[in-house]
């Protein structure tokens, strides 16, 4: 074969000697910038910074090629590598060959299966009730703050049977929660910043910030340890939640339980991975609902009208699901992931040697007009209503990642956000406080810049009930 070397890949204009493509660095919005570059440079391109070459795969067909588990695997680089210092061998940051990864994944899988959502439903619904109560009392909404609170409350109440005191009638945050949240925020900021770092700045900031960061990490671990200790003291018996699973269940394969230190890693992982991404999804959904009130009205009247939000009914909310999928397509909270060539590969005529990592830019591939059509950049939830996307579809859609390391929390996030969105939508008309574009910021995730909504009681006249087969 005469495949071209990666050095021949197109790159942004204005490359400098030694420094490389520094002129094209956009530290504040790296993956959005790379998505623009995909349109200019094609489905695969390179960015070289001080001799480090990042290969970006933004075309849908090429991205789909990297999903093949035989030829490609996951690799811990970028922010994931940074977060290892925080969450150690938690599921997200453990190496696949670390026995703790397989053990934890097997122990926790039942806790994230669809059937488990029935168990978490009431805890999730209690958060939805607190949120709608709050919005009824104070209808001018800081969406960022409230979604952070709601998603942390959900993982706390459903996952660890622990109220975080961020919403509802609690007397305020439980001991240390505020401090923990501040520390977590700074840690995620740091991890996100190092993603597409100019390589030289990384080590410098590393030294400058390490004392603060170590203190933050210690704060995080102390907070989590206190959750675990409380549970151990009170006795784990009968607690049907993630923490119970981790403390009491033996791995069906090895018969071993997770060491306590690893349970700490996991709880920290779930608090971080479980809230930031879901909050980002909820914020995007709320933005579009407020920006397009006709769509909100249609869903409220045709799908939600009079529907009690029981477990069974939430699972059947087809329009809400399609809506969430469209949010995940346009603004995936995890905008990309790294894939490592297990053997020599060819992408679009370029030779990718075994052991080489490429960055699969889901943000670009999920908007590739070649497969999603000329309106790929438009929000149109009904794309997801007609067809079911399968692995064989050319329409690249991987907001949950891929393969054995894909998101374990997927059903959890879908049930939670369907329920929260349905609760809010059936009670309120939402409006943007003032006309604003959706501006996405990039930290550890792709998440909207804070914006304000105004909620008023829903006034739309409900549609007549449909006897069967609502659609
Ligand atoms: Mn989640 C892995 C996206 C919600 C816990 N998650 C991943 C990956 C993506 C992802 C993408 C794979 C990353 C990679 O390959 O590098 N996760 C999401 C999105 C949402 C989400 C878009 C919400 C929307 N995730 C959640 C929730 C939880 C969770 C909620 C937990 C309660 N996610 C995880 C864990 C992993 C993961 C744990 C790592 C799994 C593994 O490596 O075994």
Domain-located, residue 10 = yes
Domain-located, residue 441 = no
Q: Is 327 annotated as contributing to ligand binding?
A: no
Whole-number Å distance between alpha carbons of 258 and 219: 22
Show Cβ contacts of residue 112 under 8 Å, excluding neighbours closer than 6 positions: 408, 409, 410, 411, 412
Higher pLDDT, 191 or 69: 69
Any atom of ligand 1 within 6 Å of the Cβ of 73: no
Any atom of ligand 1 within 6 Å of the Cβ of 401: yes
Structural domain including 385 reads: 1-87+335-398
Residue 198 tokens, joined: 């100019």
Q: Does 319 score more than 60 pLDDT?
A: yes
Q: Which atom of ligand 1 is nearest to the CA of 151?
A: 30
To test ligand 1's pocket by mutation, which of 409, 412, 421 has the most ligand atoms within 8 angstroms of CB?
409
Which whole number is the average pLDDT over 336-341?
94
321 alpha carbon to ligand 1 midpoint, in Å? 18
What was the pLDDT predicted at 134? Answer: 96
What was the pLDDT predicted at 64? Answer: 96
Residue nearest to atom 21 of ligand 1 (CA): 277
Any atom of ligand 1 within 6 Å of the Cβ of 246: no
Q: What is the pTM of this model?
A: 0.93
Nearest to 292 by CA among 435, 442, 135, 159: 435
Provide the sign of the torsion angle of the four alpha carbons 64, 66, 71, 72, taken in this order.
Answer: negative
Whole-number Å distance between alpha carbons of 425 and 312: 18
Domain-located, residue 13 = yes
Domain-located, residue 40 = yes
What was the pLDDT predicted at 465? Answer: 46
Any atom of ligand 1 within 6 Å of the Cβ of 243: no
Provide the sign of the torsion angle of the four alpha carbons 438, 414, 427, 303, taken in this order.
Answer: positive
Work out how many domains the chain is built from and give that number.
1
Domain-located, residue 377 = yes
Q: Which atom of ligand 1 is nearest to the CA of 362?
A: 11
Residues 161-206 pLDDT 10s: 888 889 876 655 667 888 998 998 888 877 776 655 444 455 555 5
Show Cβ contacts of residue 334 under 8 Å, excluding neighbours closer than 6 positions: 277, 362, 399, 401, 445, 446
Q: Does 471 score more than 50 pLDDT?
A: no
Residues 431-447 pLDDT 10s: 999 999 999 998 878 99
Residues 447-470 pLDDT 10s: 999 999 999 998 865 544 444 443
Residue 16 phi/psi, 5° resolution? -105, 150
Domain-located, residue 61 = yes
Domain-located, residue 228 = no
- Above pLDDT 70, what percent of the chain? 90
Whole-number average pLDDT of the chain? 89
Which whole number is the average pLDDT over 106-118?
94
Which whole number is the average pLDDT over 117-133?
96
CATH number of the domain that residue 67 is part of: 3.30.43.20
406 alpha carbon to ligand 1 midpoint, in Å? 7
Residue 305 tokens, joined: 């009208």
Residues 249-292 pLDDT 10s: 999 999 999 999 999 999 999 998 889 999 999 999 999 999 99
Q: Which helix (H) or strand (E) holds 9?
A: none
What was the pLDDT predicted at 14? Answer: 86
Any atom of ligand 1 within 6 Å of the Cβ of 413: yes
What was the pLDDT predicted at 171? Answer: 57
Whole-number Å distance between alpha carbons of 128 and 424: 8
Q: Check if the beta carbon of residue 82 is closer than 8 Å to that of residue 52.
A: no
Domain-located, residue 412 = no
2 alpha carbon to ligand 1 midpoint, in Å? 38
């Amino acid at each position: 074969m005469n495949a071209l070397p990666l050095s021949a890949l197109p790159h942004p204009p204005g490359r400098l000697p030694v420094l490389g493509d520094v002129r094209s660095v956009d530290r504040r919005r790296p993956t959005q910038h790379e998505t623009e570059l995909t349109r200019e440079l094609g489905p695969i391109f390179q960015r070289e910074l001080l001799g480090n070459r990042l290969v970006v795969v933004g075309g849908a067909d090429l991205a789909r090629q990297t999903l093949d588990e035989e030829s490609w695997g996951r690799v811990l680089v970028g922010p994931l590598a940074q977060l290892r210092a925080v969450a150690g061998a938690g599921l997200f940051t453990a190496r696949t060959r670390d026995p703790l990864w397989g053990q934890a994944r097997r122990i926790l899988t039942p806790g994230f299966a669809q059937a488990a959502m029935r168990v978490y439903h009431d805890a999730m619904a209690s958060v939805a009730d607190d949120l709608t109560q709050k919005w009824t009392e104070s209808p001018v909404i800081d969406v960022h703050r409230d979604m952070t609170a709601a998603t942390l409350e959900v993982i706390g109440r459903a996952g660890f049977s622990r109220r975080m005191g961020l919403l509802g009638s609690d007397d305020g945050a439980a001991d240390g929660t505020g401090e923990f949240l501040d520390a977590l925020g700074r840690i995620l900021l740091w991890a996100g910043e190092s993603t597409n770092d100019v390589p030289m700045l990384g080590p410098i900031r590393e030294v400058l910030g390490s004392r603060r960061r170590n203190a933050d990490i210690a704060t995080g671990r102390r907070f989590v340890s206190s959750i675990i200790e409380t549970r151990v003291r009170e006795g784990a018996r009968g607690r049907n939640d993630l923490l119970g699973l981790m403390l009491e269940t033996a791995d069906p394969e090895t018969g071993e339980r997770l060491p306590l230190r690893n349970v700490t890693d996991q709880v920290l992982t779930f608090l971080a991975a479980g809230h930031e991404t879901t909050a980002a999804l909820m914020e995007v959904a709320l933005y579009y609902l407020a920006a397009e009130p006709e769509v909100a009205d249609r869903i409220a009247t045709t799908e939600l009208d009079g529907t009690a939000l029981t477990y069974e009914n939430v699972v059947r909310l087809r329009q809400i699901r399609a809506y969430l999928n469209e949010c995940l397509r346009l603004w995936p909270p995890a905008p990309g992931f790294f894939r490592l060539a297990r053997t020599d590969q060819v992408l679009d005529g370029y030779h990718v040697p075994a052991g080489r990592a490429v960055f699969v830019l889901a943000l670009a591939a999920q908007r590739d007009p070649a497969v999603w059509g000329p309106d790929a950049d438009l929000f149109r939830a009904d794309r997801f209503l007609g067809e079911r996307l399968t692995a064989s579809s050319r329409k690249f859609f991987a907001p949950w990642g891929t393969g054995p390391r894909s998101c374990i929390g997927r059903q959890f996030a879908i049930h939670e956000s369907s329920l929260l969105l349905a609760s809010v939508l059936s009670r309120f008309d939402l409006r943007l406080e003032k006309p604003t574009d959706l501006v996405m910021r990039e930290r550890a995730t792709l998440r909207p810049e804070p914006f304000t909504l105004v909620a008023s009681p829903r006034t739309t006249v409900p549609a007549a009930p449909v006897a069967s087969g609502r659609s």
